[in-house]
Amino acid sequence: MLLHVKTTQEQQFIDLTGEIQTLLQAESVQDGFAVVYVPHTTAGVTINENGDPDVVRDILHSLNQVFPVKGDYHHYEGNSHAHIKASLMGSSCTIPIAEGKLLLGTWQSVYFCEFDGPRQRKVHVNFMRG
């Protein structure tokens, strides 16, 4: 299954949890795993806290401290910082499914991580029945 994500900022996290859960319900998967995959080299996916928006702000701020947008990079497109950040976040995550629900912690969400936006992006979601 394919999700289309339209980012609106150069760098942002977008909570995909609700959309993934909706896909899960449509597929009627009760037990197994959800695999979320981002096929882009300047975007990623991660699971992190959803209760306080300052957590996302702090993650982006810290990544920009270590890997600033403008730096001593040689990549001709000028977005090396985005490639590095996407590599650190990773291109996929796997979430257990039980009783038709994603087994995330109370404060966890699945986030699409944009580092070179705004853009139109794709996210693949596959369910493996257990």
Instruction: Dump pLDDT digits (tens) for 37-51.
Output: 999 999 999 999 999
* Collapsed DSSP state (helix, strand, coil) of residue 37: strand
pLDDT value, residue 99: 96
Ranking 44-58, 69-83, 111-125 by mean pLDDT, the lowest is 69-83
Residue 77 clears pLDDT 90, i.e. is over it = no
Which pLDDT score is estimated for 45? 98
pLDDT tens digits along 2-41: 999 999 999 999 999 999 999 999 999 999 999 999 999 9
**8 Å CB contact between 112 and 123:** yes
Residue range 2-129, CATH number: 2.60.120.460
Please state the pTM of the whole predicted model. Answer: 0.95
83: helix, strand or coil? helix
The three-class DSSP label of residue 123 is: strand
**Would you kindly state where each structural domain of the chain is located, as residue ranges?**
2-129
**Exposure pattern of 81-93 as b/e (b: 16+ CB <10 Å)?**
bbbbbbeebeeeb
Q: Which residues pair with 108 in a beta bridge?
A: 49
